[in-house]
Chain A
């Protein structure tokens, strides 16, 4: 998959790891940025061009779209033909504990969607233990102490000190 791999500085040797070639990721990133540039260019057509002299409100987004498209094509090209850019051998990108990272992202998304419905305290009382678990904390006493401590801290900070209502 890769020609040259580098040891991640803080590598945890027992944790599950995904290794991906940097060049392949560069190509994916380049395509993503190109799609964003295309969206920006296309969206500029919908901007009302009122006359204010000089250049209109669509000029700047179009200029950014062009620059971004150029840059993303270079990145794709760099991924496919690295020799053209005098780039050193491929590097390995390490993702340690991919399951935990993905779980943390899903928990955060679910929390954001639940917050309006469940309100702050019940939602956080569910969210924080799940996140602590995903982050590798297994001792129930630590999970309970962190959750209760955080909820108490935010109650004092928001309701008493700042006077800011929570959702």
Chain B
């Protein structure tokens, strides 16, 4: 582990890395402050511009952006009762009533200090658990990888939104899109009806379309809605002593946020909801929750931010995305020729350890920028939706072009943007499509490799214990929501 940190420190000793962190943090704050722009949209938008950077600078920038976006969503949630990111809706439950009581500065200070505590504690847990999980997964062969990929795909149940059936259709759509192009084993062309598809449906333009461009169309729908005005800007105190009475809440919420989000598909929202619920149950004044109880604000904000390192754990150690944002991070790493998974710690130790260092080092600066720049972030929340929609749309198309240097990439983005919008309108989540695009190839190639090795004997997946355990777990993950529903 120590050698990994040393390698990463050597790679990170450059102004480019510092610049990457600062840029990621600023972009993250801006995006998170704007309702409708989530961390997955932000990462998808920025990835094309990181091609010319080294993998370390690129991943440090993207992870910092991810972390900053998740925090900054709390600013408009507290000040104008409009969550910048979905998880901040839980923060708003007590944050906004605090602002109405004239305690906006205290609420903002508490939220950022809670975010910092949750993130740092969770990062320490990530460092210990991810390296252990990866060393365990080192002995995997094709059948184990197939089992792991199926387990990853089975997590569609937690990414499906309201309807599991629609989630599965979204997953199958993603798998269907993934088979277009050259077959991974025999090199045979499949469904290539235009030259642009010879190398398959490129991940990034599809992703930008599904998440960012579809989000633009959603914003155009709401472009007439008035932005809640905020005339009196609060000043924040930055008093660390404010948090002393809430140390137990901080510890409990950090742990809960991390553990919940390690389960792939259980991101910031579920972490915040679970932590808020538990804190309410344990509180002496449960009736004051939702009316401006600082415990509620701290529980939600700590857990939501602890979920960022938590979601990175399965991504780094097993190559399975823990959330939509980490699915995009996997895609970003693959574009740099880096494959997340058990071999990552052996082949590219600078990547996971740079992420660990970035998560720890950036946090104090994030606190400073968050506390010092409140007035600016508040102004960002007041930009009209129509302006944001148009500029984000232009960035989507330009970013898509930049990722391939080909206008065909723009067509892909437009196609997936319209498909993504239609999917969202009929309650079909686009996240399972990303899951399928990330894991489809891994599933197919390892399934076929394992069968080649066993001479076509399907029991190979049941005779290998790890593959068997993964397949049984996958069945459990799929069946559990159905059993719960029938009850």
Contact = CB atoms under 8 A, between A and B. Distances in A.
Contacts, number: 186
B384 A146 contact: no
Contacts of B49: 157, 162
A139 B452 CA distance: 65
A134 B221 contact: no
A25 interface: yes
Contacts of B172: 33, 37, 64, 67-68, 71
Given A43-B191, A71-B169, A104-B393, A97 B452 contact: no
Given A71-B168, A135-B389, A112 B397 contact: yes
Contacts of B449: 54
B401 A167 contact: yes
18 contacts: A37-B176, A54-B450, A57-B183, A60-B444, A60-B447, A67-B168, A101-B217, A104-B220, A104-B393, A108-B213, A108-B414, A112-B397, A115-B407, A135-B220, A135-B386, A135-B387, A136-B385, A137-B384
B382 to A, nearest CB: 13
Contact of B456 (A40, A54, A150): A54
Interface string B368-403: 000000000000000011110111011001100110
A50 B188 contact: yes
Nearest to B52: A162
A52 interface: yes
Report, nearest first, the 6 A-B pairs whose CB atoms are least far apart. Answer: A54-B451, A135-B386, A57-B183, A68-B172, A136-B223, A136-B386
Interface of B: 49, 52, 165-166, 168-169, 172-173, 175-176, 179, 183, 185-186, 188-191, 213, 216-217, 219-225, 384-387, 389-391, 393-394, 397-398, 401-402, 405, 407, 410-411, 414, 417-418, 421, 425-428, 444, 447-452, 455-456
A124 to B, nearest CB: 7
Interface residues of A, number: 70
A31 interface: no
A43 to B, nearest CB: 5
Nearest to A48: B188
Contacts of A80: none
B385 A128 contact: no
B409 to A, nearest CB: 10
A95 B425 contact: yes
Interface string A93-111: 1011100110011001101
A116 B407 CA distance: 7
A30 B335 CA distance: 34
A22 B427 contact: yes
B126 to A, nearest CB: 32
Interface in A46-74: 47-48, 50, 52-61, 64-65, 67-68, 71-72, 74
B456 A61 contact: no
Contacts of A26: 426
Contacts of A47: 183, 188-190
